[in-house]
Amino acid sequence: MALININDLIKDYDGNSQVVRALRGVNLTIERGEFAAIAGPSGSGKTTLLNIIGGLDNPTAGSVRVGEHDLAAMNPRQLSDMRLREIGFVFQAYNLIPVLSAMENVEYILLLQGIEETERRERCARILKEVGLEKEMNRKPKELSGGQQQRVAVARAIVSEPHIVLADEPTANLDQKTGAGLLELMHELNEKKNITFIFSTHDTMVMDRAERLIQLIDGAVVSDAAKHGGFHGAVPGKKKPAKKTARSKK
């Protein structure tokens, strides 16, 4: 069974005088363990799609299933719980809690989940070590570089071992080298922990590194290609040997 199943997804926004259609009948299936990028120009609907998958926004029509959950049937509390336990978020602007240290920012998710202290500390320390921040764990976000803050955000997203990490333009505020390092880190985590990563991006580096590239234009999927080792020109739909790879239905 697919991890994410999207059928005929439509999303309309009320503009000043007219309805703006952000997503036009999107159909998509994403399997567990994919490392996928949703690419497209500004206003193509990629962030909207990510928000709907994350339960932050409601579809106007169509259905979205994430794991066992039919998002349309869930109330705000259930959606909040799903986001807490099954989805990790990485935002463009890092969005760490400024009054908490790196360690506490990562720990925050586990606290909300009610994980007991010893396990919490042990998991946070391990994750921060994995993202290369074991020496910075007691620093506040303002004492960290942009790349380090985004690594903390990644650590926060994966510390509870969610099924999915939704990353909205994660490299947009980083320089080329730091962005590449971050992508490498997320790819390693994807391979090691089998966490599904879905990016929204218009950064070519992210598109190159992704193993599946879903192109959105004007709210519709125009191409959906799975690749070996990343980079353009990969054959759409070709599977990576160790993982399942899904295709768009249309």
Partner 1 sequence: MKALLTTTRIFMKLGWRNLWRHKRRSWVVISSIALGLIMIMFSIGFINSMLRQMLDNNISTKLGHVAIYQKGFFTNMKLETNFLPDERIMPVLSKDRDIVAFSPRVKAMGMLRTSESSRGVLVFGVYPDREIKISKINEYTTKSGGSAYLDSISSNDILVSQSLASKLEVQVGDKIVLMLQDRHNDIVGVGLTAKGFFQTPVEMFDKSVVFMGIERLQQITGLGKNVSEIMIITKDKKLAGSVKKRILAASANPELDILSWEDMAPELVSLIKMIDKQMIIFYAIVFITIIFSIANTLIMSIMERFHEIGVMKSVGTRPLQIFFMVMFEALNLGVVGLAVGLTVAVAIIQIMGHTGVDLSSFMSLLRSWGTGSIIYPFVTLKDILVAVVVVEATTIIAAIYPAVKAARIKPLEALHFI
**Where along the sequence are the contacts to partner 1 (CB under 8 A)?**
51, 54, 56-57, 77, 80-81, 83-85, 89, 91, 93, 95, 97-100, 108-109, 111-112, 114, 116-117, 156
**Residue 15: how many CA atoms within 13 Å on its side-chain side?**
6
Query: In whole angstroms, how close is the CB of 57 to partner 1 at the nearest point?
Result: 5
CA 3 to chain centre: 13
The least CB distance from residue 147 to partner 1, in Å, is 19
Short-list 134, 196, 209, 111, CA closest to 161: 196
- Provide the β-strand partners of residue 90: 167
Of the pair 84, 234, the CB lying nearest partner 1 is at 84
3-state helix, strand, coil in the chain (%, to 5): 35, 25, 40
Closest distance to partner 1 from the beta carbon of 8 (Å)? 22
- Which C-beta is closer to partner 1: that of 19 or that of 97? 97
**Of 50, 41, 37, whose CA–CA distance to 231 is shortest?**
37
Shortest Å distance, C-beta 83 to partner 1:
5
* Separation CA 209–CA 231 (nearest Å): 6
Nearer to partner 1, 127 or 225 (CB): 127
Question: Rounded CA gap, 94 and 190, in Å?
Answer: 19
Contact 9, 26 (CB under 8 A): yes
DSSP state of 234: P
> Which residue, 170 or 230, is less far from partner 1 as judged by CB?
170
Nearest CA to 198 among 2, 65, 85, 37?
A: 37
Q: Which is nearer to partner 1, 202 or 240 (CB)?
A: 202
Q: Return the CA Rg of the chain.
A: 18
Question: Could you tell me the smallest distance in angstroms from the CB atom of residue 63 to partner 1?
Answer: 19
Kindly state the smallest distance separating residue 156's Cβ from partner 1, in Å. 7
Query: Which lies closer to partner 1 via its Cβ, residue 143 or residue 191?
Result: 143
